[in-house]
Amino acid sequence: MLTATAAVALMERAAMAAEGTPKVGVGYGTDPDLVKIYKPGDVWALTFTDPQRLTATALCDTIIPADDKSPAASKVGVPDFIDEWISAPYPGHTDDKRTVLEGLAWIDEESQKRFGNNFADLVLKQKNAICDDICAFGTAKPEFKKAAGFFRKFRDLTAGGFYSTPEGMKDIGYVGNVPTVNFAGPTPEALKHLGLA
Amino acid sequence: MPHISSSKTQPVYDVIVVGSGAGGGQTAYTLTMEGAKVLMLEAGRNYDPVKETPMFQTNNQAPLRGASTPDKPFGFYDSTVDGGWQVPGEPYTSASSDPARQFWWWRARMLGGRTNHWGRISLRNGPYDFKPYTRDGLGFDWPMSYEDLAPYYDKTEMLVGVYGTNEGLENTPNSPAGCLLPPPKMRAGELLAQHRAKKLGIPVMAIHRAVLSAKQDAENLPAKLHPKNAKAQRLIAKAMRERAACFWATACGRGCSIKANYQSTTVHLPPALDTGNLDIVTDAMVRAVTVDENGKATGVSYIDRKTREERTVKARVVVLAASSAESVRILLNSKSPRFPNGLANSSGLVGKYIMDTVGARLGGQIPALENLPVHNEDGAGGSHVYVPWWLYKEQHAGKLGFARGYHIEFDSGRRMPGMGSTSGLEGINGGGYGQQFKADARRYYGSFMSFAGRGEMIPNDDSFCELDPTVKDKWGIPVLRFHWKWSEHETRQAAHMQKTFGEIIESMGGKAGKPEATGAAAIEPGGKIIHEVGGTIMGTDPKKSVTNQWCQTWEVKNLFVNDGGAFCSNADKNPTLTIMALAWRSSDYLLEEMRKGNL
């Protein structure tokens, strides 16, 4: 017998395979299959309603919009990742779930109040007007402090989700994870940049 | 002989080895190569790094982008199976509720134990490290000198494969020619630190890590490792040929399916199994060492975790290598009318003088590394450089206020992005979003460096473990209760670490994070560095130690403790290489004593 938790995890995996739907409230256990490729929703059930996903998608793409280097965050599955994150049964994630769901509700209310539309339906200038008030936690006005706390969390999740995708890694300049015969060290250009050439 | 189930064990073995990590792996290797029939018992499950290692998986292919969770405290792709700071159903307790007095115990329940995920940093103890009491009057001297262990450091480095250089620095031994593999080139941040720290008198040099920076010399090394043993030479040559050189990608903590780094499961166990002299039973949770009416060990009792049956196995000699604290636990649970306080414990010292490494960290942002031209900095899946302790003279002259040294490990580079990769940005740009955020992410990526001190702790009377009087694990085995206390030697050292790291970061033109106000706040909790040693310390006097210099218990001649438990000091050097060298030396002694008929 494996340890109880691992055995439970294995049983859960077997149950998932049998039923095809993940269980609520169960993590991946202490002995998950590390080689398998996972996607959001594989291990535990997701949370977002359609309206929540719509708002999350718009906010993700305001934080990381498309440019000439890479696509917008939603084009590489970041909203689904955020849903996976807030749906995880681990300590901390339940706090993040409350923060994110309350924040998404707030940003739609604020959008309605200011512009008579949900956040996803605003034009860029309107989105920016709201984000400018909440994007800097340290200097946010008292009435926006709570929303700024949400924005900071949401930005961390969006960026972590985005830069860990192949498109995000390429954008940020991560070119590793490829086998090579020799480790070349810094390029001549990098050494010159450091003043060590 | 292979992996077997608990019902297939032989009636009696020459040696039972409890544990399959650095100590157990080395012991089984040395003994089976010389023809001893060995049974290895491992509490965790079987584990095959060749099949189970996520070599090129990226964080977006893992749950939660690979972030750490209570199920996987070092992140999803860390190789640890069924382990961490807590093992479900197998608790340990703390005598104090004060966070500063608690010990954190990392365990893994898998073949190869913690060698599967360790940092691979392989530093030799130096001559001072074996005679610390003689040098400054604190702690204990080892009942051996550097020269006694040096030949075994040589052999261990040749066997497992260690990269690094010889710089001839004080108490930082050179390896003889042929022991070390060439070091990888330094990364950008490492080079910059070397260049700038030089002005502070701080030497940055190639670190020693158990990673094959080149193929091992399978033609010449086997004869050096096993002179006059043709079979052993043939088997280790084969094993060396089956290991690939590092291909400079993927983090070592995931394990290595191409066997380019050292883990017991890819380096020690395959050739040991090839001898035909090794049986391995996994899922075997050892409860106690059994003894006969003369007080000699006869074998061990264990619980088969699959069937929950209690079983006993017999051997002429028992070697515990279950991790220092787990070996203590087995000894204390080996109670009998003859040994009411546990086995090998007439000194009362089993469980006493447990040690960890002093740890403190400080990071900063280095503008010179911003906008660095794009290139691959993966390298050897871990650090390429370190700073050996450089203030021996000042310290010996009493100028520092703490008695023992530390070395510095580096975190730098353009690592594979995951959660937290951009979390440092807010401190620089105040927050933001949109096109500017993306531009900042590019600009600052790879410009953060962090320095970690790893320092020597002096053994003290307030740091020990014992059996908890009431708590048992799910197998019904009494658990350990830990007592812990840092002395001012350690907390002052931690404060010195942070001050030094701030100076290095400033010398690089960077901005350091805020150091803690005191060393007591800067120091990591006991156990957090996972350099758990001591508890069955070696010495020259049976009243003041548990084992002799051969890791052989004074009280029971045919009982050895071949893990970190025998350490009577814990130099700043990471313990794994010394655990292996000690286990090899003790195993040679064990074989000789068996040949002489003394065991």
Question: Do B138 and B459 contact (CB within 8 A), yes or no?
Answer: no
Clarify whether residues A141 and A60 are in a common domain.
yes
Judge whether B521 is closer than 8 Å to chain A, CB to CB: no
* pLDDT above 60 for B254: yes
Q: What is the pLDDT of residue B373?
A: 97
Judge whether B305 is closer than 8 Å to chain A, CB to CB: yes
Query: pLDDT tens digits, residue range B146-162?
Result: 999 999 999 999 999 99
Question: Do B457 and B490 contact (CB within 8 A), yes or no?
Answer: yes
Distances (CA, A) of A34 to B62, B76, B332, B349: 8, 7, 36, 41
Query: pLDDT tens digits, residue range B443-487?
Result: 999 999 999 999 999 999 999 999 999 999 999 999 999 999 999
Residue of A nearest to B44 (CA): A2
What strands lie across the sheet with B533-535, from one edge to the other?
B93-94, B478-483, B464-472, B352-355, B533-535
Residue of A nearest to B509 (CA): A194
Clarify whether residues A109 and A168 are in a common domain.
yes
Task: Kindly tell me the burial class for residue B127, based on how many C-beta atoms sit within 10 Å of its own C-beta (0-12, 13-18, 19 or more).
Answer: middle
A-chain residues near B75 (CB < 8 A): none
Could you say which DSSP state residue B3 is in?
Answer: B
Q: What is the pLDDT of residue B188?
A: 97
Clarify whether residues A1 and A52 are in a common domain.
no
Compare CB distances from A193 to B77, B373, B434 and report the shortest one's residue: B373
The whole-number average pLDDT for the span B92-98 is 97
DSSP code per residue over B140-202: ---SS-HHHHHHHHHHHHHHH-EE------TT-PPPPTTSEEPPPPPPHHHHHHHHHHGGGT-
Query: pLDDT tens digits, residue range A79-108?
Result: 999 999 999 999 999 999 999 999 999 999
Q: What is the pLDDT of residue A8?
A: 36
Compare CB distances from A190 to B195, B375, B437 and report the shortest one's residue: B375
DSSP SS3 for B483? strand
> Which residue spans within B440-596 are E strands per DSSP?
448-455, 464-472, 478-483, 511-512, 533-535, 559-561
The whole-number average pLDDT for the span B239-264 is 98
Judge whether B297 is closer than 8 Å to chain A, CB to CB: no
Task: Kindly tell me the burial class for residue B335, based on how many C-beta atoms sit within 10 Å of its own C-beta (0-12, 13-18, 19 or more).
Answer: middle
Q: Return d(Cα B579, Cα B576) in angstroms, integer.
A: 5
Question: Do A44 and A24 contact (CB within 8 A), yes or no?
Answer: yes
Clarify whether residues A117 and A40 are in a common domain.
no
The whole-number average pLDDT for the span A147-170 is 98
Contacting B residues, span 87-106, partner chain A, CB-CB under 8 Å:
87-90
What does pTM read for this prediction? 0.95
pLDDT confidence bin for A25, thresholds 50/70/90: low
Strand pairing class (B297-304; B464-472) = unpaired
* pLDDT above 80 for B306: yes
Q: Is residue A146 part of a domain?
A: yes
Q: Return d(Cα B3, Cα B280) in angstroms, integer.
A: 5
pLDDT confidence bin for B239, thresholds 50/70/90: very high
Clarify whether residues A66 and A129 are in a common domain.
yes
Clarify whether residues A34 and A124 are in a common domain.
no
Contact B62 A38 (CB under 8 A): yes
Contacting B residues, span 99-138, partner chain A, CB-CB under 8 Å:
109
Strand pairing class (B310-320; B297-304) = antiparallel
Q: How many beta-carbon contacts under 8 Å exist across A and B? A: 252
Q: Is residue A179 part of a domain?
A: no
Q: What is the pLDDT of residue B5?
A: 87
Encode burial over B510-534: b for 16+ CB neighbours within 10 A, e otherwise.
Answer: bebbebbeebeebbbbbbebbbbbb
Top-confidence residue, B5 or B555: B555
Q: Percent of chain B scored above 90 by pLDDT?
A: 97
The whole-number average pLDDT for the span A56-70 is 98
* pLDDT above 70 for A5: no
Domain count, chain A: 2
The whole-number average pLDDT for the span B291-295 is 96
Residue of A nearest to B187 (CA): A185
Contact A81 B65 (CB under 8 A): yes
Interface probe for A, chosen from B60, B116, B248, B428 (most Cβ of A below 10 Å), is B60
Q: Is residue A185 part of a domain?
A: no
* pLDDT above 90 for B424: no
Alpha helix (H) ranges present in B310-421? 324-333, 392-396
Angle (nearest 5°) at CA B300 between B294 and B305: 160
Q: Is residue A191 part of a domain?
A: no
Clarify whether residues A151 and A85 are in a common domain.
yes
Interface probe for B, chosen from A63, A172, A187 (most Cβ of B below 10 Å), is A172
Contact B66 A164 (CB under 8 A): yes
* pLDDT above 50 for A19: no
Query: pLDDT tens digits, residue range B507-563?
Result: 999 999 999 999 999 999 999 999 999 999 999 999 999 999 999 999 999 999 999
Question: Do B419 and B64 contact (CB within 8 A), yes or no?
Answer: yes
Query: Which of B439, B466, B455, B465 lies closest to B491, judged by CA?
Result: B455
CA distance B258 to chain A (A): 12
A-chain residues near B66 (CB < 8 A): 164
DSSP SS3 for B304? strand
Contact A136 B423 (CB under 8 A): no
Q: What is the pLDDT of residue A184?
A: 94
Q: Is residue A30 part of a domain?
A: yes
Compare CB distances from B82 to A2, A81, A180 and report the shortest one's residue: A2
Residue of B nearest to A125 (CA): B434
Contact B376 A63 (CB under 8 A): no
Task: Kindly tell me the burial class for residue A149, based on how many C-beta atoms sit within 10 Å of its own C-beta (0-12, 13-18, 19 or more).
Answer: middle
Interface probe for A, chosen from B71, B106, B414 (most Cβ of A below 10 Å), is B71
- Find the domain containing A138 and state its range: 47-172
Cβ neighbours of residue A197 closer than 8 Å, sequence gap 6 or more: A188, A191
Clarify whether residues A11 and A57 are in a common domain.
no
Clarify whether residues A106 and A148 are in a common domain.
yes
List the domains of chain B with CATH numbers: 1-52+107-164+216-355+535-599 (3.50.50.60)
CA distance B309 to chain A (A): 11
Q: Is residue A10 part of a domain?
A: yes
Q: Is residue A86 part of a domain?
A: yes
Cβ neighbours of residue A49 closer than 8 Å, sequence gap 6 or more: none
Q: Is residue A14 part of a domain?
A: yes
Q: Return d(Cα B511, Cα B363) in angstroms, integer.
A: 9
What's chain B's average pLDDT?
Answer: 97
The whole-number average pLDDT for the span A51-56 is 98
A-chain residues near B185 (CB < 8 A): 183-186
Q: What's the sign of the alpha-carbon dihedral B295, B299, B305, B310?
A: negative
Residue type, B339: F
Q: What is the pLDDT of residue B381?
A: 86
Residue type, B185: K
Q: What is the pLDDT of residue B504?
A: 98
Q: Return d(Cα A156, Cα A150) in angstroms, integer.
A: 10
Query: pLDDT tens digits, residue range A115-141?
Result: 999 999 999 999 999 999 999 999 999
CA distance B48 to chain A (A): 12
Clarify whether residues A82 and A156 are in a common domain.
yes
| H or E stretch covering A152 | helix A145-163
Clarify whether residues A99 and A23 are in a common domain.
no
The whole-number average pLDDT for the span B496-504 is 98
Q: What is the pLDDT of residue A13?
A: 38
| H or E stretch covering A47 | none
Clarify whether residues A156 and A105 are in a common domain.
yes
Judge whether B211 is closer than 8 Å to chain A, CB to CB: no
Residue of B nearest to A92 (CA): B69
* pLDDT above 70 for A3: no
CA distance A113 to chain B (A): 22
Query: pLDDT tens digits, residue range B11-34?
Result: 999 999 999 999 999 999 999 999
The whole-number average pLDDT for the span B392-420 is 96
A-chain residues near B192 (CB < 8 A): 194, 196
